[in-house]
């Protein structure tokens, strides 16, 4: 999901790595395989001059459907004295399947000569389960990136912070409002009403007051978070968000049996749905999402 600091976390990790880094920031222009692989190869060549030359020539001559350019790249990587790190920042969910096939081939053939780091808002259609079973995969999920109360306090009390409150209880209350969502918390800091934080988040309308003063937060949520969902996911998330709590029967009645699979996808992102009573299957949307 957007706003969890994925790119920031990777950049900080990159600062600790001694190996050459090839960083590719992807956008919708990279949905086309030739564009994607051109940017990847040029980035690898910038990190390690010469490793991309034969691969680029073959890509231009034969096109991305012929994976001979990947064979040439693998050969160059194997001859390279130091392993390379390839960061794909913002891998689009709509990426051409042939690109994912090529990445799979690259990972499974490159051995220790290449480390692949992917930042994405949804799980890419890569063999992640197999790679995890082989010990090749490390993952950071939303739960790992949510702010703890201690982290929230460090942000609120950092030098230059303009937030007027600072007790542990007040900070924890504001962090609970946004459910540890980093970008939401940072935006909320600049708009946090004294009344909402001071009452521990249990006043008459602390979230509504916060949102009224923090329109940037609502705008970001609509433009980035909701926009990142598919049309079906958005429909289900919005339908369920207006209900304080619901079980599987009410859920089915609200969104239809054909959308229960979508509910499962949303449960993978606690920003939208969380299970509050596992035995009874009771779920809820976080307060902030319901108010937004």
Instruction: Give residue 198's pLDDT band: very low, low, confident or very high (50, 70, 90).
Output: very low
Query: Lowest-pLDDT range, 44-48, 213-217, 263-267?
Result: 213-217
36: confidence class by pLDDT, cuts 50, 70, 90: very high
Is the pLDDT reported for residue 73 higher than 50?
A: yes
In the prediction, which pLDDT does 77 show? 94
Least confident of 45-49, 110-114, 133-137, 282-286: 282-286
Whether this model's pTM surpasses 0.85: no
Read off the pLDDT band of 270 (50, 70, 90): low
Cβ–Cβ < 8 Å for 168, 149: yes
78-111 burial code (b ≥16 CB/10 A, e <16): eebeebbbbbbbbbbeebbeebeebbbebbeebe
Distance CA 99, CA 123 (A): 15
Give residue for tokens 């429909």.
Answer: 235
Q: Which of 259, 287, 255 is nearest to 271 (CA)?
A: 287
Give the pLDDT of residue 1.
65
For 90, list phi and psi in degrees, rounded to 5: 85, 45
Mean pLDDT lowest for which of 166-175, 244-253, 260-269? Answer: 166-175
Is residue 202 scored above 90 in pLDDT?
no
Query: What's the average model confidence in pLDDT over 44-58?
Result: 95
Q: Greater confidence, 207 or 123?
A: 123
What number is the average pLDDT over the span 5-15? 91
CATH of 6-144, one of 3.40.50, 3.30.70, 1.10.150, 2.40.170: 3.40.50
Is 4 buried (19+), middle (13-18) or exposed (0-12) by CB count in 10 A?
buried
- The confidence score (pLDDT) of residue 192 equals 56
Q: Which pair of structure tokens corresponds to residue 31?
A: 């949905």
Residue 189 or 57, more confident: 57
Give the model's pLDDT for residue 44.
96
pLDDT digit string, tens, across residues 221-251: 888 888 888 889 989 998 998 888 889 899 9
Banded pLDDT at 200 (limits 50, 70, 90): very low
| Residue predicted with more confidence, 180 or 75 | 75
Q: What is the pLDDT of residue 211?
A: 53
Sorted by where each begins, the domain ranges of the chain are: 6-144, 146-223, 236-287
Residues paired with residue 22 on neighbouring β-strands, in sequence order: 86
Contacts of residue 256, defined as CB under 8 A and 6 or more positions apart, other chains included, come to: none
Residue 169: what pLDDT? 80
Per-chain mean pLDDT for the chain: 84
């Amino acid at each position: 999901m957007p706003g969890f600091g994925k790119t920031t976390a990777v950049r900080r990790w990159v600062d600790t790595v001694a190996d050459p880094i090839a960083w590719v920031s992807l956008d919708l222009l990279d949905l086309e395989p030739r564009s994607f692989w051109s940017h990847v190869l040029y980035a690898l060549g910038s990190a390690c001059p010469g490793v991309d030359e034969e691969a680029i020539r073959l890509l231009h001559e034969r096109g991305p459907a012929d994976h001979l350019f990947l064979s040439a790249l693998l050969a160059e990587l194997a001859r390279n004295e130091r392993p390379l790190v390839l960061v794909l920042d913002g891998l689009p969910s709509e990426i051409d399947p042939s690109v994912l096939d090529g990445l799979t081939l690259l990972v499974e053939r490159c051995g220790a000569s290449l480390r692949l780091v992917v930042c994405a808002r949804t799980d890419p259609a890569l063999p992640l389960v197999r790679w995890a079973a082989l010990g090749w995969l490390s993952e950071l999920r939303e739960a790992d990136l949510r702010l703890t109360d201690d982290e929230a306090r460090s942000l609120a009390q950092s030098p230059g912070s303009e937030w007027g409150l600072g007790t542990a209880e007040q900070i924890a209350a504001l962090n609970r409002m946004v459910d540890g969502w980093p970008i939401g918390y940072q935006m909320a800091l600049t708009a946090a009403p004294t009344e909402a934080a001071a009452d521990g988040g249990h006043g008459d309308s602390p979230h509504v007051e916060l949102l009224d003063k923090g329109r940037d937060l609502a705008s970001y949520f609509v433009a980035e978070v909701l926009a990142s969902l598919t049309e079906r996911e958005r429909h289900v998330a919005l339908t369920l968000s207006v209900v304080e709590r619901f079980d599987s029967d009410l859920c089915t009645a609200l969104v239809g049996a054909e959308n229960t699979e979508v509910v499962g996808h949303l449960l993978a992102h606690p920003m939208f749905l969380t299970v509050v009573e596992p035995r009874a299957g009771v779920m809820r949307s976080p307060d902030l999402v319901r108010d937004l």
